Amino acid sequence: IFHYQARDGLGLSGVLMRPLGDSELPAPLILMVHGGPEGHRRDGWLTTYSAPGQLAAARGYAVYYPNYRGSTGRGVAFSKLGQSDAAGAEFDDLVDAVDALVEAGIADREKVGVTGGSYGGYATAWLATRYSDRFRAGVMFVGISNKLSKGMTTDIPVEDIMVHTRFNPYTNWQFSLERSPIFYVEKCRTPLLIAGGTADTRVHPSQSLQLYRALKLIGKTLVRYVRYPGEEHGNRRAAARDDYARRLMRWMDHFVSEGNT
């Protein structure tokens, strides 16, 4: 468990996997952000097809699973800290985690990648646009790019209102726009791999398409969009899971570990 302080003094922690052998520090870092945001990562075997931590550590990466504010596992009050503040202090916590890992001599500031699915995909898109200068690569999976349209296309609109945003999706237009990665898309210079299923009702595929189309039209960074036919909010088929894990690691290897542009 790696502990650190957010910029406002809040104590936070997450699960750190050091690179195999611990021989090369500071190491390239992959920040693996959980979804929800009401979820958390416990110390244990965390590798999945969409967050291949041990696989990355075996390839020389430091891997960090941050439990940012709004996560579960620390009581109801803590899990509510992200309400009504999408992409606010909760995602600043992620940048602060990177800074703490760099200061501790674990992570190489010039070699940082970020990935996550669903709300973690939202975080990935946000960090690749709003904080593009800090991240060498991003892999966004079933993620949110436009808060204006997400609330009106999801299959959980009431949960969105009651648990996450605390307001109806057709109100607070400017706030929602400014908390959308699409708002900062012209700043993006982070190579971004976007992926998701064509049958996703939780985060509609149009969220991926909008970000992909904008980045392609701007033409200032490398972007690729992979669509998995028939998959929903996460891949269920073994072939689709295998394909995604391989693409994720190839993307990180090429842009983060090898430093290609």
CA distance 93 to 254: 26
> Is 40 known to be catalytic?
no
Given a contact cutoff of 8 angstroms between Cβ atoms, the answer to whether 66 and 12 are in contact is yes
Q: Say which amino acid occupies 70.
A: G
**233 in active site:** yes
Residue 232, helix vs strand vs coil: strand
Annotated active-site residue in 118, 145, 149, 180: 118
Using DSSP, how many helices (H) and how many strands (E) does the chain show? 9, 8
Sheet holding 192-197, edge to edge: 2-5, 11-17, 62-67, 27-33, 107-117, 137-141, 192-197, 223-228
> Annotated catalytic residue: which of 13, 40, 233, 257?
233
Length, in residues, of the chain? 261
Active-site residues, by number, are 118, 233
